[in-house]
A and B are shown apart, each in its own frame.
Chain A
Amino acid sequence: MKRIVIVGASAAGLTAAETLRRRGYGADLTLIGADPRPPYDRPPLSKQILTGSWPAERIALRSPQELARLEADLRLGRSATALDVAGRRVRLSDGESIGFDGLLIATGVAPRRLPDSDLAGVHVLRTLDDALALRAALLAGSRVVVVGGGFLGTEVAAAARTMGLQVTVVEPEPVPVRRPFGDRIGALVADLHRHHGTRLRCGVPVHRLRDTGGRVTGVELSDGTTLPADVIVLAVGSAPATGWLTGSGLSLSNGVVCDALCQAAPGIYAAGDVASWHNPRFGTRMRLEHRMNATEQAMAASGNLLGDAVPFAPVPYFWTDQYDTRIQAYGIFPPGAEPRIVHGDPSNGHFVAAYGHDGVVAGVLGWNSPRETRTLRRLVVERTSWTAFTTAPTLSPATVN
């Protein structure tokens, strides 16, 4: 292979470049990134960067020296606009076209917006610039409405509340974070927010945003009530950044469709938030928007680009920090998976729940219990039988530690 092109220069793209070099790939390497800033880490954006407890420099993924050591042709502030699969070329926004033998797609996702939401005071959060703009707005405002009670929305709400604002989260489901973790954990997350003085309006969809002369003034809900606000944060999910691949012939369906090797077409691989692949460990197709996966999948995909032929079969890992609470999860949490507390007690703020699905433990979720959660990950790795499990008493401290 003489020339590898990586599109997307963030967590997954950077890891892919480093993996290729570490694995001895010495020929041409081009890394194309739409964001003009050198690669930075996103999880702190909704946490330490919003609250201001970290300066922006702290989230740089690599120093300039480390980037230089990659000996890659790094093109920042340039986006890929089209892919010619048969001709082995990527076209860039500046009109240039770059040939490749191997291609890695790592373009991540872009936030969804609501219709007619292009108003002053309305924010989304994906980039460092988004985070700095939102922080400035939170410092200047007093009332914020967060639309969407998923992880991003609840983290932003917690950060804004910590900064002293009056915060309301609007979520169409009956509880926040219901889709990933179900009603029980959702109710606990709701309690956590109420305890900190964040208001929740669950079970009511947003009807429209209200504005005066192009500046947002509030959110009108479908039950007719209006929540006045200086700042609105849209946290209504994101869509894979695959616009540039339309018409390329690659299969696109909730991301770049890949096989178990993360291959989308011969010599073309995808990794990170943009990649949908078949995870043989769980026998199902998935697309993860998790920080750990960006690294792990980029390592696997670039190894396969070099000829490893190893299926990518991880146990997914995810965490979220809200106020003083850290929730961590290993495995998968399909709708209908049944949770059971296996360690600790929700009433004292430390516990681990296992989730049963198809007769085995498919996921474990820890609430302020990092060591125990890491230890109990093995229930997922070993596909522990759910029936044997549900009849046994709560795990003894010895099993957990």
Chain B
Amino acid sequence: MKVIVDQNKCVASGQCVLATPEVFDQREEDGIVVLLTENPPEHLADDVRQAAVLCPAQAIWMEEQEKNE
């Protein structure tokens, strides 16, 4: 799973941080999203998906990578 954020679309709502603090943070000065890791571990996939769905600015995407095995 690869996570992509668009800082220009982000409205600093912090919903992603509430959903998955392991993956998202907000900039100190204006609260715009900061991605802590582009490739979070699989066990966080559901939480990241929840963040992407809830984001009120539609600023988060996930690229699910095909598993090799």
Q: Give A contacts to B, CB under 8 Å.
A: 15, 18, 41, 43, 58, 61, 291-292, 295-296, 299, 317, 319, 321, 326, 328, 369-371, 373-374, 377
Contact = CB atoms under 8 A, between A and B. Distances in A.
Contacts of A291: 56
A319 to B, nearest CB: 6
B5 to A, nearest CB: 15
Interface residues of B, number: 17
B30 A370 contact: yes
20 contacts: A41-B57, A41-B58, A43-B57, A58-B9, A291-B56, A317-B15, A317-B56, A319-B11, A326-B11, A326-B30, A328-B13, A370-B13, A371-B14, A371-B26, A373-B14, A374-B13, A374-B14, A374-B17, A374-B18, A374-B31
Interface of B: 9, 11-15, 17-18, 26, 28, 30-31, 53-54, 56-58
B26 A374 contact: yes
Contacts, number: 52
A317 B13 contact: yes
B14 to A, nearest CB: 3
A14 B53 CA distance: 11
Given A317-B15, A319-B13, A326-B11, A370 B26 contact: yes
Contact of B56 (A43, A369, A370, A371): A43
Nearest to A375: B14
Nearest to B11: A319
A135 to B, nearest CB: 19
Contacts of B11: 43, 319, 321, 326
B7 to A, nearest CB: 13
B26 A295 contact: no
A80 B26 CA distance: 42
Contact of A292 (B12, B26, B31, B56): B56
A370 B12 contact: yes
Contacts of A370: 12-14, 26, 30-31
A322 to B, nearest CB: 13
A58 B54 CA distance: 18
A203 B52 CA distance: 42
Given A374-B14, A374-B26, 12 more contacts: A58-B9, A291-B56, A292-B56, A295-B54, A295-B56, A321-B11, A326-B30, A328-B12, A370-B13, A370-B26, A370-B31, A374-B13
